Amino acid sequence: MADGRGRGRVVGPVLAVLLVLAVVGFAVVPRVVGGDDEGAGGGKVTEVRVLAGSETREFFTDPAVTARLADAGYRLRVDTAGSREIVGRDLSDYDIALPSNTPLADLIRKKYQITRATYVPFSSPIAVATFTSIADMLAANGLIRDDGPTKLLDLGRYLDLVAKDTRWSQLANNTSFDTDRSVLISSTDVRTSNSAALYLALASYVANGNTVVSDRAKADQLAENLAPLFLRQGYLNSTSQEPFDDYLTIGVGKNPMVIVYEAQFRERQIAKDDSIDSEMALLYPSPTIFAKHTVVPLSDAGDEVGQLLATDERLQSLAVRHGFRPAIRGVDVGRLGVDQPPRLVDVVEPPVPDISEQMIKKIDELYTQGPR
């Protein structure tokens, strides 16, 4: 895809109907003014095709978001995929790629020789969705410490349990989850999903003596040692929304601990839709890592929408309502009736893309050998 691609697609009413019928995915549809395909100002609406991480779906389908974009003259037609899948997809028909990871965005820019700037409209740290009974048990076994109201999961101690293939039944004070299953945090497939790749980045940092992995030989060794984090889980979903939905609907029996984006959990809390109840809890791994949802503009129209997402105060406020941490620091979270997210200090960066890809490739090879 050439970087000089044009403005996107200005669609008339007939073509718009055909596209609605033909495109697989979900449409972010603007308000229709005067029965024509026009924005609020009476001008033509520019259609912008987006391929984004699954965790942004609720934001882009929010009627308030679609209305604000329509006011600005844009209709987004959004497909979703695992963020790592986005890198391998054919993006020739898209105006924006929006993975939830800046290194992945850099890979896309390199692949398509993109010279336009990228935009980070919002971010979200990696967290662990669990249940109060599980959190209490982990605390009794020295895995959790309190930082004010924030509960921090000691990732080093957790990795020690995994290395010993510790079972839930072996933990002290286990009165609520007496099963012989391995103590494991459920994740997505590290080969396709960014949340799992960031989980691997965190684990490799801790296993490497609290140092970002930069040595290729060490990367292979660490990947082999950390592979049980994924191989012992069995079947894994490819996007972060699927295991979170299971957490909400099936409960502790299936996934007592799940790697999520903070935004997924907070979005439900803010919505007050009763999907998060008093038995559910959010832990922050210590250290943790931020997923920076990064817009890679693939056309002029994509660039315009990327700027809008990152700088428009209304869209930034709506991102907060969907649990994200906004790019604009001046957004008054309290005024929106939303609790401030915790201030996280122990935050690390992922390895460079080549090292991350090497570790993931090594784990992929180990999948053929079965659980260890």
Read off the pLDDT of residues 80-101 as tens digits, 9 standing for 90 and up. 988 888 999 999 999 999 999 8
According to the model, what pLDDT value does residue 16 have?
42
- Cα distance between residue 310 and residue 139, in whole Å: 39
Q: How many Cα atoms occupy the beta-carbon half-sphere of 22 within 13 Å? A: 6
Q: Which segment, 5-9, 235-239, 323-327, is predicted with the most confidence on average?
A: 323-327
Averaged pLDDT for residues 240-255: 92
Residue 213 lies in a domain: yes
Same domain flag for 277 and 305: no
Residue 1 lies in a domain: no
Same domain flag for 141 and 115: no
Same domain flag for 171 and 320: no
Same domain flag for 18 and 159: no
User: β-strands 144-147, 150-154: how paired?
Assistant: antiparallel
| CATH number of the domain enclosing 207 | 3.40.190.10
Determine the straight-line distance between the first and last CA of the chain, rounded to whole angstroms: 42
- Name the residue range of residue 88's domain: 9-123+292-336
According to the model, what pLDDT value does residue 204 have?
98
Same domain flag for 115 and 244: no
Residue 321 lies in a domain: yes
According to the model, what pLDDT value does residue 238 have?
86
Same domain flag for 222 and 351: yes
Residue written as tokens 């296993």? Answer: 207
Question: Would you say residue 107 has pLDDT above 60?
Answer: yes
Question: Would you say residue 370 has pLDDT above 80?
Answer: no
Amino acid at 322: H
Strand partners, 291: 124
Residue 372 lies in a domain: no
Question: Would you say residue 17 has pLDDT above 60?
Answer: no
Handedness of CA 188, 193, 197, 198 (dihedral sign): negative
Residue 2 lies in a domain: no
Lowest mean pLDDT among 37-46, 196-205, 206-215: 37-46
Same domain flag for 159 and 235: yes
Token output for 351:
């390895």
For residue 320, the SS3 value is: helix
The number of domains in the chain is 2
Mean pLDDT (the chain) is 88
According to the model, what pLDDT value does residue 240 have?
87
- Dihedral-angle region of residue 328 (phi above 0 means left; psi in -120 to 50 means alpha; beta otherwise): beta
Lowest mean pLDDT among 59-68, 137-146, 230-239, 255-264: 230-239
Q: What tens digit of pLDDT does each residue of 141-185 get?
A: 999 999 989 999 999 999 999 999 999 999 999 988 989 999 999
Token output for 211:
């140092």
Same domain flag for 48 and 91: yes
Token output for 29:
């549809």
Question: Would you say residue 32 has pLDDT above 50?
Answer: no
Same domain flag for 159 and 271: yes
Same domain flag for 239 and 362: yes
Residue 348 lies in a domain: yes
Residue written as tokens 């784990």? Answer: 363
Same domain flag for 84 and 229: no
Same domain flag for 229 and 326: no
According to the model, what pLDDT value does residue 239 have?
85
